[in-house]
Structure 1
Amino acid sequence: MAQVLVTGGTGFIGSWCVLHLLEAGHTVRTTARDLRREATLRSWLHTATSFDDERLTVVRADLEHSDGWKDAVADCEFVLHVASPTLRNTPATGDELVVPAREGVLRVLRAARDAGVRRVVLTSAFGAVGIGHPPRSTPFTEEDWTDVDSDIPPYQRSKTLAERAAWQFVEEEGGGLELVAVHPVGVLGPLLGPDDPPSLRLVRRMLEGRVPACPPFGMGFVDVRDVADLHLRAMTDPAAVGERFLAIAGHSLRVVEIARILRERLGGRAAKAPTRELPVWLARALGTVNPELRLLRHQLGRDLDATSAKAERLLGWRARPIEDTVADTAESLLAHGIAEHPV
């Protein structure tokens, strides 16, 4: 058993990583920008599992500042760098996401190297793999990189440039530090507590009847519990060193298929989920006035597929059926009062 630092452990993916590590017997230190979140995190974790409180420490550290990182990584064998700027509020523009993501990952890597950390697992995203490319019929793999010279949204640009910077640092200045990158597609799954992560808002809005028609595109989805599992495998398996791993459950799904699964699995509780898909031409037209559709402009009319064959082959990883994940997501949103029950 090891001591592991999880950056951003109060977030959606980070909290599940903390839970899986504790259940595996590790000692966990996690960072938060606001230490007032510690009590909330502990409450969520104790509801989900039993563990000795002494095996979890929460420390303050911010990706945009150097203070705290030396102490955060001290005596840790592994680091799961999950924290990243998000679109929790309004979409960012320019360098609002790019600079914190790139500089933040470098802060974590420098501190990890200096502390003698063995391996860092970086939470990247499909956004660093499959955005800005011409239409294609084959799934994206870990060999692909997002084209940052094309007109792409800030979040995808930030994830790509941050990961590029991480690989360059390890090659040129890492001093033997090992690096692995994990690339989830759209992350769904149950919440550990009442929260509102951006990746679950599509399902939430469908349940509440705020998506009258689905945007016309397809993408991959994966369960947050399986993403956490992949992080732990990437942390310890010798085969993971220096590799990138995509995480997707099966193949891409049209957004309208997510709505269909909700209606089939939840019945009347998902009665407000949409039943039709917008025509591409109409979605493009609405994108001129709708900021969310504008961010999706490169995806409209396309199916962005990917494959997890590499993670399955090298690490023995398997994703649960996406139908179960969609249903569990909705059940969790309703149970925690994040999505309103239909009237």
Structure 2
Amino acid sequence: MPESVLVTGGSGYIAGWCIAELLHRGYDVRTTVRSPERERFVTEAVSTEVDPAGRLGFAIADLTADDGWDAAMKGVDYVLHVASPLGAASDDPQALVAPARDGTLRVLRAATAAGVRRVVMTSAANAASPSSYASEGVTDETLWTDPDDPTLIPYRRSKTLAERAAWDYMEGYDGPTELTTVLPGAVFGPVLTPDNLGSVGIIARMISGQMAGAPRIGLEVVDVRDLVDAHILAMTSSVAAGQRFLATGEFLWMTDMARILRDGLGERGRRVRTRRIPDFAVRLTARFKDPSLREITPSLGRRNRHSTEKARTLLGWQPRPAREAVLDCADSLIAHGAV
């Protein structure tokens, strides 16, 4: 009998690719969705890569509620906890933290109660970064972001506290279930559907000419297909139990990404703007015109990077070049009519 894997949040970008690759490798897959109406969306998205007939099932469960999680875990060998609930815009610093942390604990309680072999949780490289935005250099999985740093944006705090809650829970657990966490960088690569683009929307905005230029933001670009491979290696490798694995990629400034798109797409990239937007202009816009930019201003000019030596050595993980991830993402968005 094929082994079975539960993937949380099946309508998400990373989760969709996890489902497709697991099916491709012969696993039976169950995924959680918040309502039955999302089942067709997931099936159609996954079908662009692999035939899910007879091997993809669904469970109705929401990370913000207890209902449905015990049933979702029934008969499952592994769990890829990819989903994280989205918090509404709010001045409350707990708007993102509480749903992410509590949702993670719901998954772990249900998984351990069901005796699942291993849970692989998607965290973020931002949970293993120096608190100081002025920091440079290369860090690894031994570093934890300080969640009490008042300069942290809500997303970084939520990912850090959710992962910390997972490890704290497992410290008090005495049973067969194991935990591994994967900490990705900026996730790009092809899309399965033009809906729910997530981080890929940055490239869509560049191609469509919606961005007047590129702020001085640096990203460690990882292809979604390589990130999925890291998850499956973390799920199956005997040495991965109880470990954190950074799954970041090559460092690119956003101006580098713009040039890759402009040069690599030819005529299709004619609307990409390659000029750098000065830091002061980004800060002024964030202050007076577009408050949504306030969360990126602390990252202007930041060049802290992460080492993936652990994943490469222990798991044999080999990510592709960032240029390939960026261009494949662009080609996919164009092919799907997203730009």
Kindly report which structure 2 residues correspond to 1:145-164, keeping only aligned pairs within 5 A, or say none. Answer: 145-150=144-149, 151-164=151-164
Q: Deviations over 1:256-289 (max 9, x none)?
A: 0000000111012111111211222332232213
Task: Spell out the pairing of 1:224-303 with structure 2 (5 A cutoff).
Answer: 224-250=224-250, 252-289=251-288, 290-303=290-303
Residues 312 and 188 (structure 1 numbering): CA distance in 2 closer, same or farther, change over 3 Å?
same
Partner of 2:33: 32
CA pair 3-326 structure 1, distance change in 2 beyond 3 A: same
Once residues 256 and 177 of structure 2 are traced to their aligned partners in structure 1, the CA distance between those partners, rounded to angstroms, is 42
Corresponding residue for 2:132?
A: 133
**Residue of structure 1 in register with 2:66 after alignment:** 66
2:333: which partner in 1? 333
Give TM-score, length-normalised by structure 1: 0.94
Which one-letter code corresponds to 1:114 in the other structure?
A
SS at match of 1:298: helix
Instruction: Report the equivalent of 1:120.
Output: 119
Rate the CA distance shift 1:137–1:153 in 2: closer, same or farther, 3 A.
Answer: closer
Q: Tell me, in whole angstroms, the C-alpha distance in 2 between the residues paired with 1:131 and 1:196.
A: 30
- Provide the C-alpha distance between the structure 1 equivalents of 2:102 and 2:62, rounded to a whole number of angstroms: 11
Spell out, residue by residue over 1:188-232, the C-alpha distance to the aligned partner (whole angstroms, 9 max, x if none).
Answer: 011112213220111111111111121112121100111111110
Query: How many Å separate the matches in 1 of 2:47 and 2:214?
Result: 37
- Give the % identical residues: 44
Instruction: Report the 3-state secondary structure (helix = DSSP H, G, I; strand = E; otherwise coil) of the residue aligned with 1:31.
Output: strand
How far is the alpha carbon of 1:134 from its aligned partner? 4.5
Secondary structure class of the residue paired with 1:47: coil
Q: RMSD value over aligned CA atoms?
A: 1.6
Correspondence for 1:3: 4
Give the Cα separation in 2 of the matches to 1:4 and 1:56. Answer: 10
* Range with bigger deviation, 297-306 or 186-195: 297-306
Query: Alpha-carbon deviation of 1:149?
Result: 1.4
CA–CA separation in structure 2 for the residues paired with 1:302 and 1:105: 29
Counterpart contact for 1:33–1:62, Cα < 8 Å = yes
Amino acid of the structure 1 residue aligned with 2:127: A
CA distance in 1, matches of 2:207, 2:331: 10
Could you tell me whether the CA contact under 8 Å between 1:219 and 1:304 is conserved in 2?
Answer: no
Per the TM alignment, residue 47 of structure 1 is displaced from its structure 2 partner at its CA by 2.3
In structure 2, relative to structure 1, the CA distance for the partners of 1:292 and 1:270 (3 Å cut) is farther
CA drift at 1:171: 0.7
Q: Residues 163-202 of structure 1: matches in 2 within 5 Å? A: 163-202=163-202
Whole-Å separation in 1 of the counterparts to 2:91 and 2:165: 20
Equivalent pair of 1:131/1:152 in contact (CA under 8 Å): no
> Deviations along 1:57-93, whole A, 9 cap, x unmatched?
0111000100000000011111100110237x75775
- Render the CA deviation track for 1:127-172: whole Å, top value 9, x for unaligned: 2122632523312211122221122111111111100000000011
Structure 2 CA distance for aligned equivalents of residues 54 and 220 of structure 1: 37
Matches within 5 A, 1:34-49: 34-49=35-50
Q: Say which is worse superposed, 202-211 or 40-49, in terms of deviation.
A: 40-49
Alignment of 1:294-333 (within 5 A): 294-333=294-333
- What is the TM-score normalised by the length of structure 2? 0.95
Task: Tell me, in whole angstroms, the C-alpha distance in 2 between the residues paired with 1:272 and 1:25.
Answer: 42
Alpha-carbon offset, residue 50 of structure 1: 3.0
Number of equivalences: 336
Q: Distance in 2 between matches of 1:273 and 1:113?
A: 48
**Using a 3 Å threshold, how does the CA distance of structure 1 residues 134 and 335 change in structure 2: closer, same or farther?**
closer
**Which whole-Å CA distance do the structure 2 matches of 1:91 and 1:311 have between them?**
36
8 Å contact 1:120–1:178 — kept in the other structure? yes
Q: 2:137, 2:304 within 8 Å by CA — same for their partners in 1?
A: no
In structure 2, stretches of 5+ residues that fail to align are none
**Matches for 1:10-29 after TM superposition, within 5 Å:** 10-29=11-30
> How far is the alpha carbon of 1:94 from its aligned partner?
2.1
Q: Which amino acid aligns with 1:178?
A: E
Q: Deviations over 1:18-64 (max 9, x none)?
A: 1111111111110001221211221222221234x221101110001
- Residue number in structure 2 paired with 1:104: 103
Change (3 A) 1:134 1:174: farther
One-letter code aligned to 2:32: T
Mapped to 1, the partners of 2:13 and 2:291 lie a distance apart of 24
Q: 1:160 to 1:206 in 2, by over 3 A?
A: same
| Structure 1 residues 209-228: aligned runs within 5 Å | 209-228=209-228
Moved more, 25-34 or 91-100: 91-100
